[in-house]
Amino acid sequence: MQRIGVFICWCGSNIGGVVDVPAVAREAAKFHGVVYSAEYKYMCSEPGQEMIVSAIKEHRLTGVVVASCSPTLHEITFRKNIARAGLNPYMLEMANIREQCSWVHQHEPEKATQKAIELVRRAVAKAGKLEPLFESAIPVTKRALIIGGGIAGIQAALDIADAGNEVIIVEREPTIGGKMVLLDKTFPTLDCSACISTPKMVSAAQHPNIKIYTYAEVEEVKGYIGNFSVVVKQKARSVNSKCTGCGICWAKCPTKNIPNEFDLGMSMRKAIYVPFPQAVPNRPVIDRERCRQFVKGKCGVCQKFCPTGAIDYEQGDEFVTENVGAILAATGYDLIDWTKIYGEYGYGKYPDVVTGLHFERMVNASGPTGGKILRPSDGEQPKTVVFVKCVGSRDEAKGREYCSRACCMYTAKHAHQVLEKIPGSQVVIFYIDVRCAGKAYEEFYLKTLHEGAIYTRGRVSKIYPEGNHLIVKGADTLLGRPVEVVADMVVLATAMIPSAGSADVARTVGFTVDKDGFFQEAHPKLRPVETNTGGVFLAGACQGPKDIPDTVAQASGAAAKIIGLLSHSEIAGEPTIARVNEAICSGCLACQGICPYRAIEPKEIVERLPGKQVTRVVASVNSGLCQGCGACTVACRPGALNLKGFTNEQLLSEVDALCQ
């Protein structure tokens, strides 16, 4: 039998000025289970709290009802308070008689008093059904895993490692760096991209707290916040750690003319290669599909010449298990494959129609053309360059509905670079809108405009070759007439889309993606760097198209969250989570599909029946993963699932109390 104490707060005149507090206290004393009822000016004040503590002791209270302001405000205060008196902190129920009573019914004091009485009756009814709850202590492994070594992953890794935690980066490519190392200069400051990104790559590689797996992928993730166990698949590189990066192997390798992915096929590499000279780690990888040793079974040149004996043709994929407390997804973006959808632009058949990323490699001094803007078809310098924005972005019919955000700015940058590098050149930019929101962005665009870039508002309807040129047909929607430009080269600003395989990453780690396939943040405004899965965070273009400043800001934000998590050796697990009554669970697992956190797993139990033992499957709730939403409880047909702190019995008693 519960012995409930009720404490009604005046909150000065906030409640007391409307509600007849002493009358509520008198009524409350009559409710079932109530052995003590009192009122006080400010229940949350020092003497108010003391009053509760001594009443608990004196009247041997087993449950407490505080009728005051919203529980959002002081539930924690009063929980701590009753714990001081030796009561379980969850033996508290609050009645919200301020925000949801006196403050909204100031002009009807009598009715407000009646309502306050009923709200207290509800709280008493629930208090009568409360049970002690206990927070579980979840240990935290002070290490973080970062998936994707682009600028987002690198920035976060450095921040987390500098705070004294171990970091593991898993990067799919043979080098870290992501897209930023491909870029030439970066808007709006036009500083050299490699000059600011490669030193960061090196710092990450040399950091004593950072371990980098390249040419690797995350194969499996198990566990929950603070306690993930991750299987990393290290793909066979065929070059072991004895390698010093001297470069003899790729100089001697007899293969040739393999398009280098890093230059988007505009330069050639060998079968054993490093993607680019500043690659981190500076250790080559053998492309087994192109290597003669693997394809034809004979060659062995690199092995023969390698001075350190680092070449290992026998190497297989390795699987390493890493235990971490937090995971950061930073898998970045890809560009939409326009060659499959834009027939009017030639499906990629015309060599002089390229994407913005090709252009970046071209203007880059360390790129395939040594920094010269040259037409891929004949290596000539183009005089007229046309840029087409929003290719695949803001195009529901063929591409994506959203805006890719970075293209307006990088197209302005590219236009500036053409005008600067090619004297007498002409630049025409087709656009729908010019979107340059960002510090110093609009100014950057205006500068390009003043330099002579011709901005034409309208979509391009067709591009086709004519002799040595490309004819770009479009409309100038501001002047309301068709336009035709004779161009030497066309650069398409193609949409940013989630990187290939990112859906698998989301599935493996266990979080959700949005309608476009980008990683879903826990809250678009208030929790932008967390996923809905505890301990799993996100940063960079994997969450949505963004430029480098935003990427880095988000990465540091996510790092701060991770550092916060890893600063605890134990975290308190929410006690208000689901529990299974194994006796009536039928093992149908209907609940499993409902749970957004994958917290429900099947479990085998052994039951003793007369004369025999049977094994059967029941649902079990992982206390580390369950967030306590309660969605599963409704899905359970036999009613085996209940939510602690919000049980069916508690809620029904509240309903009953309010309907009396």
Partner 1 sequence: MSIENESQENWQPKIVGICCRWCTYAGADLAGISRMNYPTTVRVIRVPCSGRVNPQFIIRALQQGADGVFVSGCHPGDCHYSSGNYHARRRLQVLKKLLEFVGLEPERFQFYWISGSEGAKFAETMKKIDEQIKKLGPNKKLKRSNVFKQGDRPA
Ligand X SMILES: Cc1cc2nc3c(=O)[nH]c(=O)nc-3n(C[C@H](O)[C@H](O)[C@H](O)COP(=O)(O)OP(=O)(O)OC[C@H]3O[C@@H](n4cnc5c(N)ncnc54)[C@H](O)[C@@H]3O)c2cc1C
Binding residues vs partner 1 (CB under 8 A):
70-72, 96, 98-101, 103-108, 111-112, 114-115, 118-119, 122, 512, 520, 522-523, 532, 576, 594, 596-597, 627-631, 633-635, 643, 646, 648, 651-652, 654-656, 658-660
404 touches 148 (CB < 8 A)? no
Of the candidate residues 68, 141, 165, 331, the single one contacting ligand X (CB under 6 A): 331
In the DSSP assignment, the letter for residue 390 is E
Q: 44-63 mask for ligand X (x: CB under 6 A)?
A: --------------------
629 binds ligand SF4 per the rule CB under 6 A? yes
310 touches 242 (CB < 8 A)? yes
Adjacent-strand bridge partners of 329: 147, 538
By beta-carbon proximity to ligand SF4, the closer residue of 427 and 632 is 632
- Measured CA to CA, the distance from residue 58 to residue 52 in angstroms comes to 10
174 binds ligand X per the rule CB under 6 A? no
Q: What's the min distance (Å) between Cβ of 112 and partner 1?
A: 6
Of the candidate residues 49, 531, 551, 642, the single one contacting ligand X (CB under 6 A): 551
- Measured CA to CA, the distance from residue 310 to residue 243 in angstroms comes to 5
By beta-carbon proximity to ligand SF4, the closer residue of 352 and 574 is 574
195 touches 202 (CB < 8 A)? no
Burial class (CB in 10 A: 0-12, 13-18, 19+), 263: buried
Amino acid at 447: K
Interacting stretch for ligand X, rule CB under 6 A, among 52-60, 373-381, 538-546, 570-578? 538-546
| Helix, coil or strand: residue 286 | strand
Supply φ then ψ for residue 558, to 5 degrees.
Answer: -65, -40
532 binds ligand SF4 per the rule CB under 6 A? no
536 binds ligand SF4 per the rule CB under 6 A? no
Of the candidate residues 39, 93, 159, 173, the single one contacting ligand X (CB under 6 A): 173
Of the candidate residues 406, 509, 529, 571, the single one contacting ligand X (CB under 6 A): 406
Cβ atoms within 10 Å, residue 107:
8
Q: Which distant-in-sequence residues (6+ apart) come within 8 Å of 423 by Cβ? A: none
541 binds ligand X per the rule CB under 6 A? yes
636 binds ligand SF4 per the rule CB under 6 A? yes
Of the candidate residues 116, 183, 279, 536, the single one contacting ligand X (CB under 6 A): 183
From ligand X, ligand SF4, partner 1, none, interface partner of 103 (C-beta below 5 to 8 A by class): partner 1
651 binds ligand SF4 per the rule CB under 6 A? no
Amino acid at 219: E
- Measured CA to CA, the distance from residue 447 to residue 449 in angstroms comes to 5
Adjacent-strand bridge partners of 319: 233
449 binds ligand SF4 per the rule CB under 6 A? no
- Measured CA to CA, the distance from residue 452 to residue 560 in angstroms comes to 44
Question: Which single residue is written with the structure tokens 């309903």?
Answer: 655
From ligand X, partner 1, ligand SF4, none, interface partner of 172 (C-beta below 5 to 8 A by class): ligand X
404 touches 426 (CB < 8 A)? no
Q: At 628, list the tokens.
A: 């306590």
- Between the alpha carbon of residue 634 and those of residues 574, 628, 629, 640, 653, the distances in Å are 20, 13, 11, 10, 17
Interacting stretch for ligand SF4, rule CB under 6 A, among 59-67, 82-90, 311-319, 636-644? 636-644
Burial class (CB in 10 A: 0-12, 13-18, 19+), 586: middle
Which residue in 476, 339, 370, 355 sits closest to 414, CA to CA? Answer: 355
In the DSSP assignment, the letter for residue 647 is -
By beta-carbon proximity to partner 1, the closer residue of 42 and 646 is 646
From ligand SF4, ligand X, partner 1, none, interface partner of 417 (C-beta below 5 to 8 A by class): none
Scanning residues 543 to 602, which ones bind ligand SF4 (CB under 6 A)?
577-578, 580, 585-591, 594-595, 597, 599-600
151 touches 540 (CB < 8 A)? yes
Q: What's the min distance (Å) between Cβ of 534 and partner 1?
A: 12
413 binds ligand X per the rule CB under 6 A? yes
Interacting stretch for ligand X, rule CB under 6 A, among 1-9, 136-144, 406-414, 453-461? 406-414
Of the candidate residues 27, 360, 395, 521, the single one contacting ligand X (CB under 6 A): 360
180 binds ligand X per the rule CB under 6 A? yes
217 binds ligand X per the rule CB under 6 A? yes
In the DSSP assignment, the letter for residue 364 is S
From ligand X, ligand SF4, partner 1, none, interface partner of 585 (C-beta below 5 to 8 A by class): ligand SF4
640 binds ligand SF4 per the rule CB under 6 A? yes
- Measured CA to CA, the distance from residue 139 to residue 344 in angstroms comes to 58
| Helix, coil or strand: residue 593 | helix
Interacting stretch for ligand X, rule CB under 6 A, among 50-58, 129-137, 170-178, 611-619? 170-178
Can you give the binding site for ligand SF4, defined by CB under 6 A? 577-578, 580, 585-591, 594-595, 597, 599-600, 618-619, 621, 626-632, 635-636, 638, 640-641, 643
